[in-house]
Chain A
Amino acid sequence: MTEYPALPEFSPFGAPLDWAWLRGARSEWGVHPKPSARGLTLLDVAVGTYGEVPEHPAKRSMAPRGADVEDATDMRYILNAKTDVWADNVMELYEEAVARQWSATRDIPWGELRELDDDVEHAMCQLCTLLTEVEMIAADLPAKWMWRMNHDFIEAKMFLCTQINDEARHAEVFRKRALANGGGLLKSRPGPTSLLRTIMEAKTYTQATALMHLLGEGLVLDLFRMGELIAPSDVEKRIFRLCMQDEARHVAYGTMHLRYAIEHDPDVAEEVHEALDHGETVLTDFASSPDTTTALAVLLAGGVEHVEDKGFPLQLELNKRQFSSYLARCERAGLSRLDRTVIPLDLLGIDPAAIRGSVAA
């Protein structure tokens, strides 16, 4: 290593100089990460000691993982175990999120909005009112916990930053849609908010992520997928399709975080079960709230005329799909809910054996 023997000991103003960073820090030097075909990704720079994410970081400071840390300032983090926040797909999801951003201002063909029948416009605006209300929970929740996460889990925090940005965009796009076609924001009642409060008040981050990523966002993901049938025009279809891609990333993080947490600390499973016991009950109230069910049924029916013979049956199909997907993700996370769920499987026509069979061993 070059020793740089002739460096000055004092600045032009007489202040003593410290050249420790140049003369040999106790961090790994010369790792030479190789860019992959897509550029230099987080996975590419996870080399040598820089790629080692500790199970229990020794420091509580904002010092970057891998740096030569002296006199670390204690930031009083409370999520100091890797099992608290980590998911094995978090670097991949961060890169994906950065690569697949879109703009609610520019990428939606707002100019193609056309006048809709009054009942359909009202239903679309009611759904947008609900979505504007609930989408920001997936920004508020990580924001509540991120500053308590140990900085050695920087990639998880970076991914959650992308989620916050995604959810801001979702709130933006649904608010814009509510106002853009001659309608506006409609009814907001306590049902949905009680679910949001349950998520925000979860005692641990892992409980919160089960409620939000697995339960809440999982159901919203299937709602967005159903946007093909809900959307009255190509404008709304475009909105739902782009939101769907974002939402699927968030669900992927939550599922794999729970899996990681439970694999490494099986006691976490019961804690998450308890949260979901309560969450499923509150969710049932949310899903059956009068404004949501009627607005969705009208959109699925293409108007009030066929709400009974077409809208409600399609909605039942949507509910079946939502809860089946949720239960399958729970299986994947290592958290089987099939013998414990309060979701009325018989009523919805969900076969537990089919869900067990849908998940690879």
Chain B
Amino acid sequence: MQADDLAFFEVLASVMNADPARFRPLGEAYMSAGVVMRGARGDFRARLDFDGLRCEVSPWDGASPCDYWLEGPTAVWEQMFANITGNGRAVGLETVNSLVMLGDDIRLQGRDPMGLDKFSRFNQTLQEFLDGAARLPERVPAS
């Protein structure tokens, strides 16, 4: 399953939506996050709308408002998901917060610092959502 495919994120959302007990200890989350992958096959964009203990995925044109978006090369995203599937969850410097903090691999962007702060306010919910890749029967291939 390719990471730069809306179907992949829809499956991650279905993993989250089917298992609210895994997310309940973190609490409800309310945010809209964009994902942008830049690769040889062109840019891929998805929008993740977190609503309590659920997430809905939709195509994103990059123009409609999001609290923030995460943008980076497809290969870096794939490496992150490979780390997740290989370890059961993101470890080391492959958590989404680490990748953003390290600067240039995946960049946290937004038009408003209050939207950007939602990345911090709901960070562990987002990480748990991405860690759902470890629960899929099919692995994301690393570039």
Contacts and interface: CB of A to CB of B under 8 A. Distances in A.
A356 to B, nearest CB: 12
A317 B100 CA distance: 13
B98 A245 contact: no
A225 B113 contact: no
Interface string A242-272: 1011011101100110000000000000000
A245 B124 contact: yes
A26 to B, nearest CB: 36
Contacts, number: 80
Q: What's the interface size class on B, roughly? A: 20 to 34
Contacts of B93: 228-229
B79 interface: no
A175 interface: no
Name the residue among A107, A247, A249, A360 with the largest chain B CB count within 10 angstroms.
A360
Given A100-B27, A228-B93, A360 B112 contact: yes
B97 A225 contact: yes
Contacts of A241: 97, 123-124, 127
B26 interface: yes
A102 B26 CA distance: 8
A245 B120 contact: yes
Given A252-B114, A359-B112, A100 B123 contact: no
A237 B121 CA distance: 16
Nearest to B53: A38
Contact of B26 (A100, A221, A237): A100
A101 interface: yes
A59 interface: no
B97 A245 contact: no
Interface string B99-123: 0011100000011111001101111
Contacts of A228: 93, 95, 97-98, 101
A42 to B, nearest CB: 14
Q: Main secondary structure on chain A at its contact with chain B?
A: helix
B67 to A, nearest CB: 11
B123 A96 contact: no
A256 to B, nearest CB: 7
A332 B113 CA distance: 7
A332 B97 CA distance: 23
Interface string A315-334: 00100010001001101100
A102 B24 CA distance: 11
B52 interface: yes
Nearest to B28: A99
A89 B111 CA distance: 18
B101 A96 contact: no
Interface in A100-117: 100-102, 107
A255 B110 CA distance: 16
Q: Which 9 A-B pairs have the closest CB atoms?
A: A100-B27, A99-B27, A248-B120, A360-B111, A228-B98, A248-B121, A328-B113, A332-B113, A99-B28
30 contacts: A38-B28, A92-B30, A96-B27, A96-B28, A96-B121, A99-B27, A107-B25, A225-B101, A225-B120, A228-B97, A229-B98, A234-B91, A241-B97, A241-B124, A245-B121, A245-B123, A247-B120, A248-B120, A248-B121, A252-B117, A252-B121, A255-B113, A255-B114, A255-B117, A325-B113, A329-B113, A358-B113, A359-B111, A359-B112, A359-B113
Interface of B: 25-28, 30, 51-52, 91, 93, 95, 97-98, 101-103, 110-114, 117-118, 120-124, 127
